[in-house]
Amino acid sequence: MKKVLITGVTGQDGSLMADYLLKNTQNTIIGGIRRLSVKNHRNVERLENNHRFKLIDLDVTDHQNTNEVILREKPDYFINFAANSFVGNSWSMPVNHMETNAMAVLYQLSAISKFCPECRYYNAGSSEEFGDVVNCPQDENHPLRPRSPYGASKASARHLVKVYRDSYNLYAVQGWLFNHEGTRRGEEFVTRKISKAVATIVRQIEKQEKITPLSLGNLDSRRDWSDAEDFVEGVWLMLNNKLGPKDYILSSGETYSIRQFVETCFSLAEIECFWVGSGLSEKLISTIKGSTLVNINKEFYRPAEVEVLLGDPSLAEKELNWKRKTDFEGLVKKMYKNDYELLG
């Protein structure tokens, strides 16, 4: 029985990884969490009585705390999902993003190299590292050209992972995880914002209440979306790669616009609608009631937009035998149905 330490375990990826490992391995799971005045353990509440799962205090931005935890626990695997991962927020909090997403990785790698060099390390990378893309699709050889403080922080972390891997012969990797969503995605992310808003509008229609429109920014940004549940399996495969430590892209190999995500969600909710206007005046209108379902708010535009991200997962599929299970429509349906049910 080995020990797996997961940071960010109360978030989408961390909690899904804990679920996956408890189901598919005999390992003990240690969840590192930052102490908050108000607990937010909803994603792991059902695990807290599991004898193979425990929560510990770990603030990834605290160098001393990181050293103490790694020295005490000496994990066999360290999976770092802790991050400030809201891209739009990174322009107003750039220092926080660099401290949480890059300096924290330096603290972890430094401690692992000193106290448990046999530990296998994974850091969550991002397609935002590619940023101002040169070609589509993006593969593992695409240059890093971030266009946000968030993307820059993840690119910085990637270089640190490689430096420590090469310098100390650590099993340390950072996967490029393209956009991955699900029922545990935070409500500040655009996909969850859409699925919850559509579910709310359906409930309002059912109750004959006034419709609350959804406000969005750039509708034509295109992303490569997958189900987060498929990605945690890929992360575990990276950590147990017979070829040794190597960075991979996990993605769907397909790209859809935010506009298409909106349209798909309303279609699955069986609400007929159509677009009118253009630019900041564009709106999505209900065919039946004539009510506005979606409008545009310039506040949601980013200072520098990444227009398209499209990953090439072929290397991971070939060398790790990894394959996603849920397609785009299946993901949108899953998220919408969950939010509709949560509204009661």
Look at the pTM and tell me if it is higher than 0.75.
yes
Q: Look at 190-204, 254-268, 276-290, 317-331 and tell me which has the smallest mean pLDDT.
A: 276-290
Q: What architecture does CATH give domain 190-221+257-307+334-342?
A: Alpha-Beta Complex (3.90)
Give Cα separations from 227 to 53, 191, 328 (angstroms): 24, 12, 8
Distance from C-alpha of 145 to C-alpha of 168, rounded to nearest angstrom:
27
Please tell me what DSSP assigns to residue 210: P
Q: Are strands 249-250 and 214-216 parallel, antiparallel or unpaired?
A: unpaired
Q: At 36, is the pLDDT very low, low, confident or very high (cuts 50, 70, 90)?
A: low
Q: At 266, is the pLDDT very low, low, confident or very high (cuts 50, 70, 90)?
A: very high
pLDDT of residue 216: 96
pLDDT of residue 90: 86
Q: At 87, is the pLDDT very low, low, confident or very high (cuts 50, 70, 90)?
A: confident
Q: Please report the DSSP string for 165-197 in residue order.
A: HHHH--EEEEEEE--EE-TTS-TTSHHHHHHHH
What single-letter amino acid sits at 321? N
Q: In this predicted model, what pLDDT tens digit does every residue of 45-58 receive, in sequence order?
A: 989 889 999 999 99
Residue 148 has pLDDT above 70, yes or no: yes
Residue 79 has pLDDT above 80, yes or no: yes
Give Cα separations from 36 to 7, 219, 233 (angstroms): 15, 35, 29
pLDDT of residue 40: 73
For the chain, the domains span 3-177, 190-221+257-307+334-342
Q: In this predicted model, what pLDDT tens digit does every residue of 302-336 receive, in sequence order?
A: 777 778 899 999 999 999 999 999 999 999 999 99
Mean pLDDT confidence for 173-193: 94
Mean pLDDT confidence for 281-308: 87
pLDDT of residue 305: 72
Residue 2 has pLDDT above 70, yes or no: yes
Mean pLDDT confidence for 141-155: 95
Mean pLDDT confidence for 200-228: 94
Query: Over pLDDT 70: what percentage of the chain?
Result: 99
- What is the SS3 assignment for 93? coil
Q: In this predicted model, what pLDDT tens digit does every residue of 202-211 receive, in sequence order?
A: 999 999 999 9
Q: At 38, is the pLDDT very low, low, confident or very high (cuts 50, 70, 90)?
A: low
Residue 63 has pLDDT above 70, yes or no: yes
pLDDT, the chain, mean: 94
Residues 6+ apart with CB under 8 A from 298: 217, 280
H-helix segments, the chain: 12-24, 63-73, 94-98, 104-115, 149-168, 190-206, 228-239, 258-268, 314-319, 328-342
Residue 88 has pLDDT above 90, yes or no: no
Distance from C-alpha of 170 to C-alpha of 203, rounded to nearest angstrom:
52
Give Cα separations from 334 to 55, 214, 256, 269, 322 (angstroms): 29, 19, 17, 12, 22
Q: Domain 3-177 carries which CATH code? A: 3.40.50.720
